[in-house]
Amino acid sequence: MKFARQSILLAATAIPMIRAVKPKNYVFFLPDGYGPASETLARDYSNYVDSATVKLPVDDLAIGYVRTKSWDSLVTDSAAAATSYACGIKTNNGAIGVDPDDIPCGTILEAAKLEGYLTGLVVTSRITHASPAGFATHVPHRDMESEIAEQLVGYSHPLGRVVDIMMGGGKCFFLPKSNKDSCRHDDMDLWSVAEDVYHWTMTSSRADFDDIRDSGAVHIPFAFIPSMGHMAYEVDRDPQLEPSLTEMATTALDILHRKAEQQETGFFLFIEASRIDHGSHAHDPIAHLHDILEFNRAMLAVKRWIGDHEDTALLAAADHECGGLTLGVPDYAWYPYVLTQAEHSAKYYAAVYEDILGFNYSAALKESSIVDRVFGGYGIYNVSLTEMARLAITTSPAVFLGELLSARAGINWSTLGHTAVDVTLFGHGVNTDRFVGNYDNTEVCHFMTDQLGFDLGKATKLLQSDKSFAASIQSKAKSKNFLRRFQLEHEDDILQAHNH
């Protein structure tokens, strides 16, 4: 008994001594759609490729679990989850920075901005996608990406511009409808508005990125948006066109840190490995796996960066699992070799397939091209006649290819959507050892906010005091309700749209 009493006594005296230590900078890193089984998949694949690898970099950072349910569903979507991480409240699936009554809530990024901190969003999806949107914008539905883009640059955001750096895809939402690549529903040239009215440095070329990374000379606010839609899956990425998530994350850290030091504040940076989720929605183990490996490289880079900047803390957690990934099905089968051959994602080979169908080839040449360049390219060498026939009639060649390869590796997917399982909580840096355990996603927000000494209520009050903004959200909510009805009727189409 005396040993245990001694332990308690020491704890009681030790805690007050370190209570005053606070982080100056906070990084929240969200691996979208990354569940516990995804970690096992990537770990054992890595172990197969290099037997010296027994753990992933993120394995060393695991400190607990996050519960993910949203206000209206046990299974959350990325919008509700991002709002919970950002605002510390529960909301409905689809909602961005608003509560279940479509009233805007202040986010940790906005609270940081109000305190004079630098802020950043670094993602591999469209920058207007649900997860980054939930940290800096307020719309009743995630599909309102034109409005999200406007708020991101500062246009129509009640607090003005709250983002200092953004990197990710989605340039199409910044181009006027008249542009053939535009995704906007109006003729606003938001790219120019951002440059001219809000003084953004808007870049999209790899050369611009490299200049800024190497020179460190950058005017803030700064945007790097290299692709019209999502950035590429890591396994499909052309390094001549797009930097990796790791490169973007470390560049953002360096820029934010330099500016924050100059103005004697800190920064809040949101990073997302956005497309882990898309790989599992599509049942593509290749896209899923390589985006997970890049997530690990980026986490390791952030960890090392914190090693040199000890006043920084990192928390990371997914928004939800995706795909219901199971390893060892059936009969404990597991053949990691099967996953080593593909050089690209299933989506890439599905595009090759569509190309071949369009060529003026003989039937025999088409067939051999499909066997060699589609199935063979993706690592399926033993394709059967039945499988060839099924490819010809499937509505989604990419999912079909993904499921064939999965089955050969011993991987089973139980759903095309998300699941409810708790996700892994990772932490590193100042005081994150105090956040060990099982937490609700809203509690992650409260912990970070408390650590930074921010007041979310202040941001919320300012947002809500803008009556015309509140009215415009309520008005848009009518479209949202339309969208939700539409979604119930066209679940698969919408889901598919979210994958891209």
Is residue 60 a contact residue for a copy of itself (CB under 8 A)?
Answer: yes
Residues 151 and 134 sit within 8 Å (Cβ to Cβ): no
Name the residue among 106, 148, 140 with its Cα closest to residue 462. Answer: 106
With binding defined as CB under 8 A, does residue 265 bind a copy of itself? no
DSSP reduced 3-state for 201? strand
State how far the Cα of 157 lies from the Cα of 463, in Å rounded to an integer: 9
Draw the binding track, 91-120, toward a copy of itself (x: CB under 8 A; -: no contact). --x---------------------------
Q: Which is catalytic among the residues 78, 182, 396, 406?
A: 78
Query: CB-wise, 7 or 465, nearer to a copy of itself?
Result: 7
Of 21, 6, 132, 111, nearest to 459 by C-alpha is 111
Phi/psi region, residue 491 (left: phi>0; alpha: psi -120 to 50; beta: rest), is alpha
Residues 6+ apart with CB under 8 A from 382: none
Using CB under 8 A, which of the segments 3-11, 110-118, 179-187, 244-252 binds a copy of itself? 3-11
**Would you state the structure tokens that stand for residue 128, as one six-digit string?**
């207007």
Shortest distance, CB of residue 33 to a copy of itself, whole angstroms? 14
Which has the closest alpha carbon to 254: 220, 297, 208, 295?
A: 220
Question: Is residue 5 involved in binding a copy of itself (CB under 8 A)?
Answer: yes
Stretch that binds a copy of itself, among 118-126, 342-350, 420-428, 469-477 (CB under 8 A): 420-428
4 contributes a contact to a copy of itself by CB under 8 A: yes
Q: Does the active-site annotation cover 345?
A: no
Q: Which of 418, 428, 476, 498 binds a copy of itself (CB under 8 A)?
A: 418
| Interface with a copy of itself (CB under 8 A), residue from 163, 430, 459, 470 | 430
User: φ, ψ for residue 334 (rounded to 5)?
Assistant: -160, 110
Does residue 493 belong to the site contacting a copy of itself (CB under 8 A)?
A: no
Q: Which one, 74 or 393, has the nearer CB to a copy of itself?
A: 74
Token pair, residue 426, equals 């990772």
Report if residue 275 touches a copy of itself, rule: CB under 8 A: no
Under the criterion CB under 8 A, does residue 156 sit at the interface with a copy of itself? no
Query: How many amino acids of this chain bind a copy of itself (CB under 8 A)?
Result: 68
| 489 part of the interface to a copy of itself, by CB under 8 A | no
Interacting span for a copy of itself (CB under 8 A) from 51-59, 78-86, 112-120, 125-133: 51-59
Per CB under 8 A, 436 contacts a copy of itself: yes
Angle at 312 between CA 311 and CA 315, to 5 degrees: 150
Task: Tell me which residue has tokens 């803008």.
Answer: 466
Q: Is 353 exposed, middle or buried (0-12, 13-18, 19+ CB in 10 A)?
A: buried
> Which residue's structure tokens are 């982080």?
23
Point out which residues pair with 65 in neighbouring strands.
424, 438
186-215 binders of a copy of itself (CB under 8 A): none
Read off φ and ψ for residue 108, nearest 5 degrees. Answer: -65, -35
Binding site for a copy of itself (CB under 8 A): 1, 3-8, 10, 14, 17-18, 20-24, 36-37, 39-40, 43-44, 54-55, 59-60, 62-65, 67, 69, 73-75, 93, 309-311, 324, 326-332, 334, 412, 414-422, 424, 429-431, 433, 436-438, 440, 491
